Structure 1
């Protein structure tokens, strides 16, 4: 047990007994699937699962978007998510009038950025996929968002993400750590991606991490960093350049804001923050708090920065946002060591050479 991992704070160490029980339940559940006491379902089309072994913050959404950018123009792609913290239940297919409250912030983000892609939500993936295929029969590729630990569906391609600052090899079960699956479950993946790496990661550091992870012969390990784009206004979509003279108020409710905070510290004069819980549903009182905090900033050149996930939960206040310089900071995946073509070719070969999983 590595209590020096970034997220294993002292207060969480007191919860070790609960973590041991949690780990035992996870172990038993996996053995039931391994011995086919609990059944998995395969589908006769390429299914790509993007997941992790830890709870939140490893960069699943940017990875799903990366796949969509490379696939949606040549394939009829659909994305199926759980729709975490939505106000609805069961299967739902996004349409022109859909809101984040109905399908969740991440699916709503996909829906807004890729309107030609079918975006659906459903807690039970094995039930939701047939319904999705009934609604969108031309679908020929499905991306499962955050479904690696949900083994009721057997994906043909499993992509497991692990955060550079908290590798699954150094983590421990919830609630002491952030693991929600066994470390050994990484063996079920075809691809492992170490995310949120420093862009200047050295070859020696890369090799040391690969040695620690111990990939199996059939597994490919990639390394990626976050690349930030130009902030755009939440309403007008006009872009702006961040400068060393700009004061920034960061408003965010995401699992791991540390990379974003580090970036703003580097590019802005100074920044303040209002941080909320992951998937926070913003209220009118939150908006008043944001406006109050922003008005207290003394700089003449100032603005508010939020994430794309948060933006889909803030847009409901469209009228109240008219007078605020609220900008959305987009992010995307940047593969390191020139391996983006290797990754995209791997995905293409999987899809074109798809065979029904055994």
Structure 2
């Protein structure tokens, strides 16, 4: 209730923010502010809200789809303590390039991973040696005119009343969706009923040639943070789960873990939280105070990048701490449409024919 009152107090500031967003949009539309177009495929993955819509697994889906091309992924590197253009290499850490870029670098050896807050500069550094560039979280970065925009919407938030920042979590006006080439609804339920699918389309009101497609999350095997060890969720059914997260929206993960236990002790931090030694010590103490033998620590793959920091190695040694990987998958007909749209777009450039 208190939060709702605070949001009401912030609504005037959201109105000012919205007016600024619309003015900026018009300046780009009128050509007063310059938007650069590049002579190679540039695919942008973005959303209208702040975090939590599944950009990272969607980007990884694209990397797998485009495995036959020389791909570079360019991110701002949110949460890093550095500035400027940096190429990920063997010395990369979450503090140097950000947790999401580090995850891409560690999972996709054949992909170039770079960070730069100035996307135009970043693309200029990468364009000569690559066939495709993927922009991670750059829909609002109008300085680059991406050739193909994928805009994500979380299924469970469609149809709910959402406000612009700072009263809500929207960083762009809803009408901005009209710029996208594909509207991708993420974290859909399985199975997806036709009535729910149609409700998404009705809510988004797409343009005539703007497909609304649906994807869902697919969870993998639990993987140990420090050791070469994997476990299925079935193998820890009924355990006490100590869950530690620093992501925007842990609700879908909690829902999935709830299928395997009723005892989840969740330590929740803000998105991209820079874990401290005190955070880890407090969490470890709570875990060790639990008398049950059947207990396990679970985190997300993105959080695992920050938890692997050298300063935490001794604190976490010998603990059963695992991360749960996720992948995005599209429903059969939507997958065919989506893959075809992406591959045809990439092939349309002379250098990739």
Is 1:90 the counterpart of 2:79? The answer is: no
Task: Give the total of aligned pairs.
Answer: 346
Distance 1:9 1:44 in 2: 47
Distance 1:275 1:138 in 2: 41
1:117-156 alignment to 2 at 5 Å?
117-133=111-127, 137-156=128-147
Is 1:252 the counterpart of 2:253? The answer is: no
**Residue 313 of structure 2 corresponds to which residue in structure 1?**
318
Shift of 1:51: 0.2
Distance 2:158 2:5 in 1: 19
**Residue 18 of structure 1 corresponds to which residue in structure 2?**
13
Q: Residue by residue, what CA displacement relative to the aligned partner does 1:116-135 show, whole Å, maximum 9, x if unpaired?
A: 210000111011111233xx
Task: Please report the TM-score for the alignment, with normalisation by the length of structure 2.
Answer: 0.94
Determine if contact 2:281/2:315 at 8 Å carries over to the other structure.
no
**Residue 28 of structure 2 corresponds to which residue in structure 1?**
33
What root-mean-square deviation, in Å, do the aligned CA atoms of Structure 1 and Structure 2 show? Answer: 1.7
Distance 2:133 2:13 in 1: 36
**Residue 64 of structure 2 corresponds to which residue in structure 1?**
69
Shift of 1:169: 7.7
Distance 2:38 2:174 in 1: 27
Match 2:194 to one of 193, 203, 222: 203
Task: Please report the TM-score for the alignment, with normalisation by the length of structure 1.
Answer: 0.93
SS in 2 for 1:78: strand
SS in 1 for 2:298: strand
**Residue 348 of structure 2 corresponds to which residue in structure 1?**
353
Task: For structure 2, list consecutive stretches of 5 or more residues without a partner in the other structure.
Answer: none
Determine if contact 2:159/2:203 at 8 Å carries over to the other structure.
no
1:264-283 alignment to 2 at 5 Å?
264-283=257-276
* More helix per residue: 2
**Residue 255 of structure 2 corresponds to which residue in structure 1?**
262
Is 1:181 the counterpart of 2:175? The answer is: no
Distance 2:77 2:29 in 1: 27
Determine if contact 1:244/1:269 at 8 Å carries over to the other structure.
no
Determine if contact 2:181/2:210 at 8 Å carries over to the other structure.
yes
Distance 2:159 2:27 in 1: 23
Determine if contact 2:53/2:152 at 8 Å carries over to the other structure.
yes
Distance 1:86 1:113 in 2: 19
